[in-house]
Amino acid sequence: MKKAAVLGASGYTGRELQRLLARHDSLALHVFASAREGSPAEPPELESEPPVEALDWERVAQCDGVFLCTPHGTSAPLAQRCLELGKHVVDLSADFRFPDAAGYRAAYAHEHPCPALLPGAVYGLTERAREQLHGARLVANPGCYPTSILLPLQPLLEARLVDRERTIVCDSKSGVSGAGKTPSARTLFGNSHENFLAYGLGTHRHQPEIRLHAGTERLVFVPHLLPVFRGILSTIYLAPAAGVRAAALRDCLRESYTGERFVRVFERGLPELRGVQNTNECHIAVGECGELVVIVSVIDNLLKGASGQALQNMNLALGLPEAAGLA
Ligand SMILES: NC(=O)c1ccc[n+]([C@@H]2O[C@H](COP(=O)([O-])OP(=O)(O)OC[C@H]3O[C@@H](n4cnc5c(N)ncnc54)[C@H](OP(=O)(O)O)[C@@H]3O)[C@@H](O)[C@H]2O)c1
């Protein structure tokens, strides 16, 4: 039995990992701790929640892998310390999603705390990076919106089935858990319930991440806030390459994801949030609308968009079965 630590345990993704690891038969939750130095152990607010321990580096040192469920800027120094201890690290924040400090600075408007680590990180879009993830020391878990968009988009761009001269439009909607546990005016029940809004138009930090990993600047991303707790639905509008029809794009995706446990490409019908909530799955459909191809992609932001994919990645990094704890 290998041992895992979850740092930043009190947040949404930390609690999700606790639930997943409880069902894992070869990776046990050994440390479930705050990521704040000197933070006292506090009783959980709900009796049903597991307690969060104070951070104890000696106990972290006993683990094989560490999940960092912390905000960007906070994760990188923690990752550095874990790597010095010889641990495998999966970081759920954006700290290692850009291969260079300039890209990170442009997106996050501050200097990267540990730029020397950037070239060694693997961008963990699991189905697309499996070879690099085996035994990986440092994994950058992709953002939730980027996961829902890049899973369908990367194979199509790679197969040259998309007209790169035309702009790809990614219209995404997320449940409020995507913003984490800290209350804000936007995510308060009174403001999100019975409401629906766009935000981050032209400024959202996931846009440069998606552009980078799609390999094109001709891509527009607009996020929206849904009045539900969990789930992302992305509608992607693109012009196919000359002479190519939607069926060819669908075939390409079906071929790319044949045999994949967590990615399903629909033959007909459209996916819904309900089909993926509380699962680690991504459901994709491809349709045609006039001259455009329209792709609908859904995931659970807390699972395939965060903790579920993080566990897939950690399993590969530690040499465990990829789907362990996720069935
Ligand atoms: N929510 C999602 O759907 C989602 C999806 C993909 C990626 N992510 C990323 O995953 C990470 C965690 O997300 P989350 O939704 O779980 O966030 P969250 O609910 O806000 O929890 C954040 C965690 O980080 C800790 N933390 C906050 N500031 C800290 C600091 N300065 N020093 C040390 N610890 C600090 C918090 O501890 P305290 O309780 O002590 O404040 C809490 O345990 C973030 O980087 C987020 O961007 C989230």
Q: CA dist 77 to 72, 130, 143, 303, Å?
A: 10, 26, 19, 25
- Looking at ligand 1, which atom is closest to the CA of residue 70? 24
**220-247 burial by CB neighbour count: b if 16+ within 10 A, else e?**
ebbbebbebebbbbbbbbbbbbeebebe
Whether 122 and 132 have beta carbons less than 8 Å apart is answered as yes
If you measure from the C-alpha of residue 246 to the centroid of ligand 1, how many angstroms do you get, rounded to a whole number?
Answer: 39
Nearest to 229 by CA among 305, 327, 289, 300: 300
With beta carbons less than 8 A apart as the criterion, state whether 320 and 247 touch. no
Strand boundaries in 279-318, DSSP class E = 282-289, 292-299
Could you list the pLDDT tens digit for every one of the 327 residues in the chain?
999 999 999 999 999 999 999 999 999 999 999 999 877 666 667 776 778 999 999 999 999 999 999 999 999 999 999 999 999 999 999 999 999 999 999 999 999 999 999 999 999 999 999 999 999 999 999 999 999 999 999 999 999 999 999 999 999 999 999 999 999 999 999 999 999 999 999 999 999 999 999 999 999 999 999 999 999 999 999 999 999 999 999 999 999 999 999 999 999 999 999 999 999 999 999 999 999 999 999 999 999 999 999 999 999 999 999 999 998
* Residue ranges with strand state E in 27-142: 27-33, 65-68, 88-91, 122-123, 138-140
Residue 85 has a pLDDT of: 98
Tell me the two tokens of residue 292.
């455009």
Residue whose CB lies within 8 A of the most ligand 1 atoms, among 15, 17, 32, 70, for a mutation test:
70
Supply the residue whose CA is at minimum distance from atom 39 of ligand 1: 10
Catalytic residue among 63, 144, 170, 282: 144
State the distance from the centre of ligand 1 to the C-alpha of 184, rounded, in angstroms. Answer: 14
The reply to whether ligand 1 has any atom less than 6 angstroms from the CB of 143 is yes
Ligand 1 touching residue 93 (CB < 6 A): yes
144 is catalytic: yes
Q: Which atom of ligand 1 is nearest to the CA of 13?
A: 16
> Residue 159 Cα, ligand 1 centroid: separation in angstroms?
36
Provide the 3-class DSSP secondary structure of residue 191.
helix
At 288 the three-state DSSP class reads: strand
pLDDT at 41 (0 to 100): 64
CA distances from 156 to 161, 291, 298 (A): 5, 17, 17
The whole-angstrom distance between residue 19's C-alpha and the CA centroid of its chain comes to: 17
Ligand 1 centroid–CA 302 distance in Å is 12
A 10 A CB-CB count for 255 gives 11
70 CA to centre of ligand 1 in angstroms:
4
302 lines ligand 1 (CB under 6 A): yes
Q: Please give the Cα distance from 70 to 81 (Å, whole number).
A: 14
Q: Is residue 8 within 6 Å of ligand 1 at its C-beta?
A: yes
Q: What is the pLDDT of residue 107?
A: 96
Strand partners, 225: 174, 197
Whole-angstrom CA distances from 49 to 6, 61, 67, 139 are 15, 25, 19, 28
